[in-house]
Structure 1
Amino acid sequence: MSQVKARNIAELYKEAAERFGNSPAFCTRDSKKVFQPVTFGEVYEMGLNLATGLIDLGVQQREHVGLLADNRLEWIVTDCAIQCAGAADVPRGTDVTEQDITYIIPHSDAKVVFVEHKAMLDTLQKCKSQLPNVKHIIMMDKETRPGGDILHMYDLMEKGKQLRANGDRRAEERMAAIQPDDLFTLIYTSGTTGAPKGVMLMHRNMISQVKNLPLEVGGKDRALSILPIWHVFERVFEMLAISTGMPTYYSNIRNIRDDMAIIRPTFMASAPRLWENVYLGIKKKVESGSAVLRGLFAAAYFCARMVKGSWRFLTFKQLDMEGRNPIASLFRAIFSIVLIVLFLLPYLLLDFIVLRKLRGATGGSLRGSVSGGGALPFHVDEFFNNIGIPVLEGYGMTETSPVLAVRTYKKLVIGSVGPIYPETEMRLIDLSTGNAIYPPQRGKKGEIHVKGPQVMKGYYKNPEATDKVLKDGWMNTGDLGVITFNNTVKIVGRSKETVVLLGGENVEPVPIENKLLQSPLVEHCMVVGQDKKYLTALIVPSPDAMKEYGATHEEIARSKEALEMMREEAKTLISGQSGFKSFERVIDVRLLPKPFEVGDELTNLFKVKRHLVTDKYSDLIESMYD
């Protein structure tokens, strides 16, 4: 855990400048593609100068400032400046749609908007007639000078520098006035129905996250940044780097393979999709190799599984959902010791010959990576931890800044998201009774409710939405979880309707289901895809419309022709022409042998019990992702 004394993020930047002033802070590629470092002292100085320029421009304390940009040095400098000016940022990436711009910028009351480059400026200007509140647009890219009424951050920075040289200390005065309960950032969550919701995160939220991250990192480490910096998951690790003096290298998906070899990172925040891609790349390389290579890899991985799996059992790090039987555990412990004795030497030899080279795919120095934003597939999780790349899966949401649970090196239980985060209370609520299951019961599934210093203040200008998820400080996550007998958290599904895909896209299934229900072929349906790459659907076919394939639901469900017909129907209905986004399309379907019934799959109000249907047809669902 980092030794943070700062009460707010502006002080965090200042503290870093005082402690690590001349050490490299952020490294970006120059025009020759060479990484150039900027020190912690320089970041803070540029931030103060730009903050002074913003204050002189008229930015007020607690004002909201738009920030439409991706990972780059200017992003972190601008963030520092906004914080030092006592304001709050409203961040979004350059892939933001015009529809989102015309909602988010006016709704957030942003009068000043930073844009990364010419393309982002052009998109913003297309929406200008719908942004009456915007007074100033500021270009961030150093080489782009659009002129006219478009300001440039480096000009504002220079003006602030001159003002400070003449004794202007308004930025320091603003910093001193920042309270822990002041707004730090306003992040709009993306959804597929209704307007985006602005999550209000305060300075105390982010400071609590940075203080409690159970990671031992510092100036000798190297962090690789590839996730969108405006996402709160990546952002908390940027703040961790600032608080510990760890240098951060900005990369992207296009350059990640080369950058891993050049930088040899020791730490990185990541997403499940990254590890899936690396896993598939390794698998493809091995399968295309010689018979000798395939044999060596198979032997190396088998030995690694025997040794690592046995050691996890002996050290109580094997996922335990039911509690250990003392007698069975004794025999298993003896067997585990025998396996370690038998396979340790072959493992060490083959690790040196084979697995060490696989670790080289991440630069060879990676001590750990926290994966978040979706569930890590078990086979991928097990693979990397077995070959010696510790993946510390975490769990959280934007509304909780985001971390609620995260694995640690001491509590690395594959299949779980680690222990509950420090200073965080967690309850598991029985959906049928509304009573708390945990505490004290472990091993039983319930809806996750949390309370802690990381929980948001609420949704901006949306008390109705806030009241739906926050009650007496307790946040209803909408996720279903279990507290294991390892005292870790395992996420097992969703109680709310929103589906979060593996890539982090939030999908509201109801509009998709309503569209499918317009078909005479469909009697009932449920869209699935939580933590998967794409959406699929379970469909109860209509016997009247599909009687040529059978007289009953069961007969129709067995028909290959009926299944193919339903696939084509789903493909036609859920398309771009119908207004659906690419990630909302239903890639595959399965036909169910019986209709949904009240008291079973349906509530008394005829709503689908999603968690129950997911459990009941889990094998059928998995068959669509094999």
Structure 2
Amino acid sequence: MRKLIKSSNKTAILWNDEKITYRQICFSAERYAQFIPEKTEFISIFAANSPEWIYAFYACWLKNAVPVPIDFTASKEDVVYILDECRPEIIYTDDENLPKLKDALNEVDYSPIIKILTDSPKATGSGNYDPDISYKLEDTAVIIYTSGTTGNPKGVMLSYKNIFTNIDAVSVDVPIFTPKSTVFSILPFHHVLPLMGTVVAPLYVGCKISLCASLKGPDIIKTLKSHKATIIIGVPRLYKMIEQGILNKLKKNKAGILLFRLAKQINSPFFSKTVFKSINKTMGGRVKYLVSGGAALDREVNRNLTALGFSILEGFGMTETAPMITFTRPGEYCVGSAGRALPNLEMKIVNGEILVRGDNIMKGYYKRPDETAEIIKDGWLHTGDLGHLDEKERLFITGRKKEIIVLPNGKNINPERIENKLEKDPVIKEIGIFLKDNIMQAVVLPDLIKIREKSISKIDDFIKSQVIKPYNESVAPYKKIMKLHLIDKELPKTKLGKLRRFMLPELIEYKEKKKTKDFPKTEEYRLIADFIEKQTDQTVNPEDHFEIDLALDSLDKVNLLVFVNSAFGIDMSEEKMMDFHNAKLLSEYCAEEKQKIDPEDLDWEKIIKGDTGHLEIRESKSIVFWKKLSKIFFKIIMKLKVEGIENIPDTPVIFAANHQSVFDAFLLVSEFPDKLIKNTYFYAKKKHLKSKLMSNLANNNNVIVLDIHSDVKESILKLAEVLKSGKNVIIFPEGTRTVDGKIGHFKKTFSILSSELNIPILPAVINGAFKVLPGGSRFPKISKEVNVKFLKPVYPENHTYESLKNLVYDIIDGEIEH
């Protein structure tokens, strides 16, 4: 505490618009300490970050008590476990967390004193004193309970020596923290990284602490800007959020994106800091270091932030090392490395595992001598992490020893390597690999935004064929993933973002069990579930996700919207409906907002033939020119043959074709007479028309744009209006291009329009276009043979939507070269 008082009236904490001095911290800590009984052994703090949290922490040290911070977001079971094990005599909390604390205390057999942080009475006396913390270096300074990735929390006993070893490493040996630093603090203090990195170390060195009161993006930026932080200490999730926020803004500026790409290529800190100086200004203009810990920082996020002019200091450590083992020195940036070891810390790799020995190693686990002996052997802490050192003694982490999956045949699998490889696919938001029933299994949280952009309806099939299958074909048999599970919630993790792999089998078991219970008894649920079951021909469970579990495509969702409107009198957008992504949530919303309950059968005839209102449909101004230009282009790059033009009737017709390449629309019309192409409209997804040029071309060239996120129904009505006016439309029923040359699942938009308007469907078959420009290729392959064939018209009489769709599918599939 003497270290604090020396800075007297210097600002120590920036909290909203308040400036709190070092002297005020000392006085407040002493005030809190006055009401702590002598010989108090343990004091817990169960509260959100605040200046009062810090006062209470230092008050513990003033009274020679051991502070035991407890995660205020932890489960009741974990809180009860911690209280029962260390039995703190006093617990500081705040008003918001008091009910949770009382609930947990009902489960223990003693009654500690509860103090509300903001209610502590003022200290008596003039305040003219020099508060002091008396301690021995080997004394226990704090007990941090670590949730870890397995089992119950363990109390890590850290000594004052452990703490000072860490502080000296980043303030004396490598002066990252200086009295001029302002350290941004957002992570909860009950974790060792923010406690040491954003409270204890800064206050010991004489820095300012910029204390952020909110986890919301705008509040974070506002705090950074107003407090002018120089060091940000965070976890990978925070930096991912910052990176995405910056890149999303850059993408709106072509010059900005070009400069960003150039910065990544030339890899010059000076260039990046100069060019992107304005980005730093939005964060206060003084950010010098981004310190990342808690888990490995994604390499692409690291590269992107570096290209944007930030200096990334990534570290590796554990609660058991208070917390650092290695850290990146300024100027020694290396993507993928966690830096070099702390000064005077011994580190070695034994059988792939990282072992360390030094003054930062914990005293042990509270009341767990056997577990302490398992992790500390002959003075060496066995981290359980796997890694290797390069020639510059930089550490590279490769996985967790405990996470290694041992197969029945004795083979070892590092699941993190598989996850890192598969997570590169944009449709994978999160993935966890685990062993169950003696087979390798994967649980996946899909990225629904990317899924919708690609118009993928059967998510399970897509991920199996386009992600899992290519992976399985590239690895040895024992590394293959044999079973896939899709979920709609984040994977279980620790507070610092590490995957709790041991919970994955339980997660899957719970997902299966919940299908057999808790069926809502309301009329709204029954009607919605019955409707979906009729539409999809599958059993609906209350929490089945519409897209992930039931594979509802854009048209299925429109059908459901129309039903909700007719049955309950609720008019909602497709985007709004996805806020209620299962039958249970949607039925609860309908129960609250319904204007009526009057279920009707879905009547597309009424919708399509009814009044469509004002739907603007433009006629082409230049489509003949673009057809002729594309025809010249096709002659140069491919050998194109078109057959069956004579099969096109004079009446309005719906062209339904398989989708093989980006050229398909113009391949189909390449031999159309000018009059025919002027009367033919295309159906295209909005995502392909993002630029102003493409958008203008679409608006002026007979293109009906589909926004799969919001206006599917309107686009269908536009198609109907075109057909009713005597024009033709071209539809690719797969909704997206093939990724392997095979024909995909057909959506039934075309069969609904055909049936309700009594308009024939002309099946069209494209062969060979996939070979000209396979998925992922940037340039076409020259001189490939491409055939376009128009078949005999199919008429809708005596067909259902489904049977008509299946008939056209079978006709086209029978003509495709397999």
TM-score by length of 1: 0.65
Q: Which residue of 2 aligns with 1:218?
A: 178
Contact 2:485–2:508, Cα closer than 8 Å, also in 1: no
* Aligned counterparts, 1:162-241, within 5 A: 162=124, 172=132, 175-176=133-134, 178-191=135-148, 193-213=150-170, 214-237=174-197, 238-241=199-202
CA 1:268–1:578 in 2, change beyond 3 Å: closer, same or farther?
farther
1 or 2 for the larger relative contact order (CA 8 Å, sep ≥6)?
Answer: 1
Instruction: Find out whether 1:467 has 2:373 as its counterpart.
Output: yes
* Aligned counterparts, 1:400-439, within 5 A: 400-430=321-351
CA 1:283–1:82 in 2, change beyond 3 Å: closer, same or farther?
same
Instruction: Find out whether 1:27 has 2:11 as its counterpart.
Output: no
Among 286, 294, 297, the residue aligned to 2:256:
297
Q: Secondary structure at the match of 2:181?
A: coil
Contact 1:272–1:371, Cα closer than 8 Å, also in 2: yes
CA 1:534–1:202 in 2, change beyond 3 Å: closer, same or farther?
farther
CA 1:574–1:26 in 2, change beyond 3 Å: closer, same or farther?
farther
Contact 1:525–1:537, Cα closer than 8 Å, also in 2: no
Opposite residue 17 of structure 1, the aligned amino acid is I
Q: Which residue of 2 aligns with 1:48?
A: 30
Among 192, 207, 211, the residue aligned to 1:250:
211
Contact 1:94–1:116, Cα closer than 8 Å, also in 2: no
Q: Which residue of 2 aligns with 1:16?
A: 4
Opposite residue 3 of structure 2, the aligned amino acid is E
Opposite residue 133 of structure 1, the aligned amino acid is Y
Task: Give the 4+ runs in structure 1 shifted more than 4 A.
Answer: 164-169, 524-533, 538-543, 553-558, 562-565, 568-572, 576-579
Alignment identity in percent?
Answer: 24
1:217 CA displacement? 3.5
Instruction: Find out whether 1:536 has 2:436 as its counterpart.
Output: no
* Aligned counterparts, 1:380-529, within 5 A: 380-430=301-351, 446-497=352-403, 528=416
Among 45, 56, 66, the residue aligned to 1:67:
45
Q: Deviations over 1:500-551 (max 9, x none)?
A: xxxxxxxxx99xx99xxxxxxxxx99865878874422679999xxxxx9xx
Contact 1:525–1:539, Cα closer than 8 Å, also in 2: no
1:195 CA displacement? 2.2
1:261 CA displacement? 2.1
Among 60, 65, 69, the residue aligned to 1:82:
60
Q: Secondary structure at the match of 1:258?
A: helix
Q: Secondary structure at the match of 1:468?
A: helix
CA 1:497–1:578 in 2, change beyond 3 Å: closer, same or farther?
farther
Contact 1:67–1:91, Cα closer than 8 Å, also in 2: yes
Among 483, 492, 508, the residue aligned to 1:573:
508
Taking the aligned partners of 2:127 and 2:55, their CA distance within structure 1 comes to: 22
Taking the aligned partners of 1:495 and 1:262, their CA distance within structure 2 comes to: 44
Q: Deviations over 1:347-374 (max 9, x none)?
A: 58xx65x522233343321011210011
Contact 2:419–2:432, Cα closer than 8 Å, also in 1: no
Taking the aligned partners of 1:236 and 1:108, their CA distance within structure 2 comes to: 21
CA 1:131–1:556 in 2, change beyond 3 Å: closer, same or farther?
closer
Instruction: Find out whether 1:116 has 2:78 as its counterpart.
Output: no
Q: Which residue of 2 aligns with 1:330?
A: none
Q: Deviations over 1:308-333 (max 9, x none)?
A: 36x8xxxxxxxxxxxxxxxxxxxxxx
Taking the aligned partners of 1:554 and 1:384, their CA distance within structure 2 comes to: 33
Cα RMSD, aligned residues only: 3.6
CA 1:45–1:413 in 2, change beyond 3 Å: closer, same or farther?
same
Q: How many equivalent residue pairs? A: 448
Taking the aligned partners of 1:269 and 1:572, their CA distance within structure 2 comes to: 32
Among 262, 267, 278, the residue aligned to 1:308:
267
Structure 1: give runs of 5+ residues left out of the alignment: 1-12, 30-34, 143-151, 312-343, 431-445, 499-508, 515-523, 544-548, 580-586, 589-626
Q: Secondary structure at the match of 1:41?
A: helix
Instruction: Find out whether 1:264 has 2:212 as its counterpart.
Output: no
Q: Secondary structure at the match of 1:376?
A: coil
Q: Which residue of 1 aligns with 2:552?
A: none
Q: Which residue of 2 aligns with 1:136?
A: 113
Contact 1:526–1:539, Cα closer than 8 Å, also in 2: no
CA 1:482–1:49 in 2, change beyond 3 Å: closer, same or farther?
same
TM-score by length of 2: 0.50
Taking the aligned partners of 1:230 and 1:106, their CA distance within structure 2 comes to: 18
Taking the aligned partners of 2:385 and 2:304, their CA distance within structure 1 comes to: 26
Taking the aligned partners of 1:220 and 1:136, their CA distance within structure 2 comes to: 39
Q: Deviations over 1:200-256 (max 9, x none)?
A: 111111111111112343343322101111211111222221122211111132120
Taking the aligned partners of 2:343 and 2:8, their CA distance within structure 1 comes to: 30
Taking the aligned partners of 1:415 and 1:136, their CA distance within structure 2 comes to: 47
Taking the aligned partners of 2:191 and 2:485, their CA distance within structure 1 comes to: 35
Taking the aligned partners of 1:489 and 1:358, their CA distance within structure 2 comes to: 31
Opposite residue 75 of structure 1, the aligned amino acid is W
Contact 1:264–1:363, Cα closer than 8 Å, also in 2: yes
Contact 2:326–2:341, Cα closer than 8 Å, also in 1: yes
Opposite residue 380 of structure 1, the aligned amino acid is V
